[in-house]
Structure 1
């Protein structure tokens, strides 16, 4: 017989291995009957093979021919006499004829200790698998064939996806798992907990560097005071960043080829089911495996939080936030023995207190995804941050000052509505909580605030959802008038504004997003908001709008309270107070410019960040700081111009050796 060379890379593994090889179930037609069996998926093999377990059944019904082949493998070359049989293989929507080689010496069945338990848990989770595990006994999986590229090419795209702690190929007929079987263990049982003794676990496993604990408990604040941990040169370099064009909003942002690849991969992961959006997180996977588990820091931080809040009788309020999230399916309990803590990423959390009258929840948890340990990256270091999809805040504030009527709304728990698609991502957002005397393990099944990719993902999903709807004023509003989760819209017509409100609520509900905390200075729109129970629940007259305070009754806006009451004695204190006044529209610049001029004077004197300010400057500063308390009471008319009328723009500017100023008047 002629020798017909073929190529085949046969699988090789140790019988004691815990590695699960990629297996899929295929169906062939034999004598008019369909026969299904498991096959090893081998992309390194040119031909497909059948094992001895199927040969008898097939040889009775189908003609075979004997041929001589040169088999080339990584172990060497060998001439073999093999039988060849043509069978029709059923694929998703069609069947194709494939020639299989029959090898009586080929035995591909394998046994992995604990495999049966893993598959049982996956079935409970309703995970669809491409292999047939129903024929498995005592952890032994029967595998009766090997499919090479002559069959694999008809299966459809083998999409590599993260699954639990490992990876799998995703096919329409199910997941093809491969890798260490422990990566697919399900340690989860909703609302079931083995009961870890809190004091025992914390006492044994919470030992860590105290610096990491206080990095979580006392993080950098929102303005410039946090630089106390840096030397003066580093602070000076950070100050320079304040005056970069990017900081001022002048950017030349271009979506790079890298961005396009990452965004396309993220978009392909989006699934809409059961009224919600599910996503896979955009990681930089080459770094992710280096992230520390951080369970010891998370335990140490929790212990300090428990003690501090218990002393203030606030711990039950703190726990209630989490228990409410559990009831809404935002978080879920997981059973993780302390021996397996290191297999998960634990995010430390701390409470923050909201003093604004508009906040209905006064104590909230904040998670720190920026914790680095031992020179290893943080979760935020390993995530793709995305491109800026936000509407420019200054542009939205200018729009807010047009037209006579206003509609305001927030997306309720916006970040917590977007759900995580796979176990791999969920296991990166685990945390501990003390309930009574037990340590309970939780994980998030949604985005969380504090994760660097969350703002990009939220904005992308909102736009992704809205773009599915027909073009029109509501679609335009939802695409262009959101800043993160805040909707700001003005109009001249009450009927049109009411129509926009009703349509917007309906459109957003279809994706699981609830428009709440709605308000308007239109009596008709306000009545509908109250009837829909979508109004504010804080009971206050004023609302917060893009950093300002807004009174719908007076149609008037004011500055929100900042850190102006801070006692100042150093240059660092002066900088912090100046930075705490949020006024991007420059409504009170004639007052606040004095503080910036004094800071400039201190700078010229070469005074260090923590040195005392000279008494003459400090006296002027104290007088200036008293005036800051009054600026929060200054009201400004919100409506300046109407969109549908022409405007004359008049601009004045002037400069001195200390400052320069520009003022623009719009005249209608």
Structure 2
């Protein structure tokens, strides 16, 4: 994405590279003409150009412009549309707008074969490896895996294996493993909360980073660690609303215990046949402070977190 954005000529002097193949050669000076990965403003400059393309096309293509403004996370485009016809129109407009700025979208994935066929015909220069059709292929965004063929969300864990698997568990090693569990939507909130409780307990022990954890903590940690692979068996439907819904309700729940508190949001949708579908949308959780606080007060903290978030 960065390579598609040119730097103003007056600013290229701030992106110089001095180079020579060996110490006897004279120094050569190269200018980097595009946004350079690793520079502090790089992500802003790239996404700002993306936004400007949307603003420039807001009058002629309002729906596509809004989609570009709202449905991008850096260079990842994620959008959901009600029907195939609407999806094809939106894809065509978004694709052409971005192509005018030399941003060529690729590696398309969809839960519908017709849409992928449309994308492959959209641009004759689009390579076949830009289309993800393999049923075993999954797209990963922000730690969440989407299996497009089944239209489900999954979680993949990477427990340590090999000869170092049975090394002593230290504070550093446990925190490293916990930090790899990423769940931006909170769909596996109970797992994340338990991991957070381990983190809190480790900080409270006041042991060194490379000191082995006490046996009483190690036993409960091993039970948790050995069960992490079970997360991969979860299959969460991406589609949270019932087909042809006539009403949608959003329900908020908050709760607390002496160990943690949190909130969860559900969508309840109903169709004309009075069939009801309820799905978890997202959740947030926090561990309770070490200083003892009453459960009613923690419940208020959960409710406040719900309002703020």
Regarding TM over 0.5, the answer is: yes
How do 1:70-85 residues align onto structure 2 when only pairs under 5 Å count?
A: none
* 2:153 pairs with 1:557: yes
Q: Is the 8 A contact 1:519 1:529 kept in 2?
A: no
The corresponding residue for 2:253 is 652
Distance verdict in 2 for CA 1:433–1:573, change over 3 Å: farther
How do 1:136-535 residues align onto structure 2 when only pairs under 5 Å count?
A: 414-422=1-9, 424-430=11-17, 432=19, 442-469=30-57, 470-531=60-121, 532=123, 533=126, 535=130
Take 2:241 and 2:177, find their aligned partners in 1: how far apart are those partners? 33
Distance verdict in 2 for CA 1:526–1:650, change over 3 Å: same
Distance verdict in 2 for CA 1:449–1:537, change over 3 Å: farther
Partner deviation per Cα, 1:264-288 (whole Å, 9 max, x = no partner)? xxxxxxxxxxxxxxxxxxxxxxxxx
Q: Of 558, 561, 572, which residue of structure 1 is paired with 2:172?
A: 572
Take 1:429 and 1:538, find their aligned partners in 2: how far apart are those partners? 42
Query: What is the deviation of 1:623?
Result: 2.1
Query: What is the deviation of 1:607?
Result: 2.0
Take 1:612 and 1:635, find their aligned partners in 2: how far apart are those partners? 35
Take 2:209 and 2:20, find their aligned partners in 1: how far apart are those partners? 39
Distance verdict in 2 for CA 1:647–1:442, change over 3 Å: same
Q: Is the 8 A contact 2:68 2:94 kept in 1?
A: yes
The corresponding residue for 1:582 is 182
TM-score, normalising length from structure 2? 0.72
How many residue pairs align between the two structures?
Answer: 254
Query: What is the deviation of 1:429?
Result: 4.3
SS in 2 for 1:489: coil
Query: What is the deviation of 1:521?
Result: 1.2
Q: Of 614, 630, 633, which residue of structure 1 is paired with 2:230?
A: 630
The corresponding residue for 1:662 is 263
How do 1:53-132 residues align onto structure 2 when only pairs under 5 Å count?
A: none
SS in 2 for 1:528: helix
Take 1:473 and 1:512, find their aligned partners in 2: how far apart are those partners? 20
Q: Of 607, 616, 629, which residue of structure 1 is paired with 2:216?
A: 616
Partner deviation per Cα, 1:488-516 (whole Å, 9 max, x = no partner)? 11011110100111111111111111011
Query: What is the deviation of 1:442?
Result: 4.8
* 2:245 pairs with 1:641: no
Take 1:454 and 1:483, find their aligned partners in 2: how far apart are those partners? 14
Q: 1 or 2, which has the higher strand percentage? A: 1
Take 2:38 and 2:160, find their aligned partners in 1: how far apart are those partners? 26
Partner deviation per Cα, 1:202-249 (whole Å, 9 max, x = no partner)? xxxxxxxxxxxxxxxxxxxxxxxxxxxxxxxxxxxxxxxxxxxxxxxx
Q: Larger Rg: 1 or 2?
A: 1
Structure 2: unaligned runs, 5 residues or longer: 270-309
Query: What is the deviation of 1:444?
Result: 2.4
Q: Is the 8 A contact 1:564 1:581 kept in 2?
A: no
Distance verdict in 2 for CA 1:454–1:605, change over 3 Å: same
Distance verdict in 2 for CA 1:468–1:536, change over 3 Å: same
Query: What is the deviation of 1:610?
Result: 2.8
Q: Is the 8 A contact 2:12 2:31 kept in 1?
A: no
The corresponding residue for 1:402 is none
Distance verdict in 2 for CA 1:477–1:434, change over 3 Å: farther
Structure 1: unaligned runs, 5 residues or longer: 1-413
Distance verdict in 2 for CA 1:448–1:562, change over 3 Å: farther
**How well do the aligned residues superpose, as a CA RMSD in angstroms?**
2.9
Distance verdict in 2 for CA 1:564–1:479, change over 3 Å: farther
Distance verdict in 2 for CA 1:415–1:560, change over 3 Å: farther
SS in 1 for 2:221: helix
TM-score, normalising length from structure 1? 0.35
Q: 1 or 2, which has the higher helix percentage? A: 2
Q: Is the 8 A contact 2:168 2:212 kept in 1?
A: no
